[in-house]
Amino acid sequence: MRLIRYGEPGQEKPGILDTEGRVRDLSATLDDLGAASLGRDALERLKGVDVAGLPLVAEGTRLGPCVANVGNFVAVGLNYSDHAAETGAAIPAEPILFNKAPSCIIGPNDDVVIPRGSTKLDWEVELALVIGETCSYVSEEEALSYVAGACLCNDVSERAFQNERGGTWTKGKGCPTFGPLGPWLVTLDEIDDLQDLDMWLDVNGNRRQTGNTSTMIFNCAFLVHYISQFMILRPGDVITTGTPPGVGLGMKPQTFLKEGDRMSLGIKGLGTQEQTVRA
């Protein structure tokens, strides 16, 4: 299933993509696409819905973030070997974890706003996992059974805040609008292999990132297992799993986003996003 939230910010309703790629309204079945609707039993019930009989949503309706009321937004740094190399960083011995503020989450095509004092605004196409079941101390073998699905994320980053202001990376990762999610939450039964997904990102029509999840240092199952050793993951929590090479920080000379720039990005099977940078 490809699950969607649509409508104006703060008033989103749940939806589902039909076989022809059209958005259908699920609001008669679900209140929203959040914690209560992401567990195994809830998703199994959704499979029985007659999608073709649901009302169509008007074409062009805004898409919201594909999961509601995210409690914890965990991110993984330097998780692609080729991205670590371009930044001059050593391959981490264990996953680097930091948090993005849930308040940074926006729809897949909403504007990205330059925060006050920003000088080095950057892009990162990433695969994100959405937790479906409460998850604590899980094994790597069982880890993906706790995941409701996957989605596309742009881990928008302010590098001066992240790297030059001391403390943790969180400073440059959680500003408002720094977490576009969606367009779809794709259930894992629709994805052949999380570790073989092509991904890309363009800025103003120029290809910046080209990668594949096969070059992750720590794979998706290991990340869920690993993170669950340090915190309880709850339904609706999001883990964004790192980015391939091609970020502005790694370019020579370094290149960062400015007002009016347009980012386009996608992951095979998970849809595409487009954001315009605004002051």
Q: What is the pLDDT of residues 224-245, one digit of tens each?
A: 999 999 999 999 999 999 999 9
As a whole-number percent, the residues of the chain with pLDDT over 70 amount to 100
Exposed, middle or buried by CB within 10 Å (0-12, 13-18, 19+), for 29?
A: middle
- pLDDT value for 138: 98
* Position 85 pLDDT exceeds 80: no
In a domain, 55, yes or no: no
Residue 148 lies in a domain: yes
- pLDDT at residue number 83: 75
Residue 10 belongs to a domain: no
Q: What is the pTM of this model?
A: 0.97
Whether 63 is in a domain gets the answer no
What does the block give as tokens for 149?
């699905």
pLDDT over threshold 90, residue 203: yes
In a domain, 193, yes or no: yes
Residue 162 dihedral angles phi and psi, to the nearest 5°:
-70, -45
Split at pLDDT 50, 70, 90, the class of 89 is confident
Mean pLDDT of the 212-224 span: 97
pLDDT at 88: 76
Q: What pLDDT is attached to residue 122?
A: 98
CB 50 within 8 A of CB 31: no
State the CATH number of the domain containing residue 209: 3.90.850.10
Q: How many domains in the chain? A: 1
Structural domain range at position 248: 68-278
DSSP string spanning 30-44? -S-SSGGGSSHHHHH
For residue 161, tell me if it sits in a domain.
yes
- Interval 135-174: pLDDT, tens: 999 999 999 999 999 999 999 999 999 999 988 899 999 9
Say yes or no to pLDDT of 32 above 80. Answer: yes
Name the residue among 257, 249, 264 with its Cα closest to residue 279. 257
Question: Is the pLDDT confidence value at 48 over 80?
Answer: yes
Any domain includes 182:
yes
Q: Is residue 122 part of a domain?
A: yes
pLDDT band at 86 (very low <50, low <70, confident <90, very high): confident
Closest by CA position to 79, among listed 66, 62, 60, 96: 96
pLDDT value, residue 91: 86
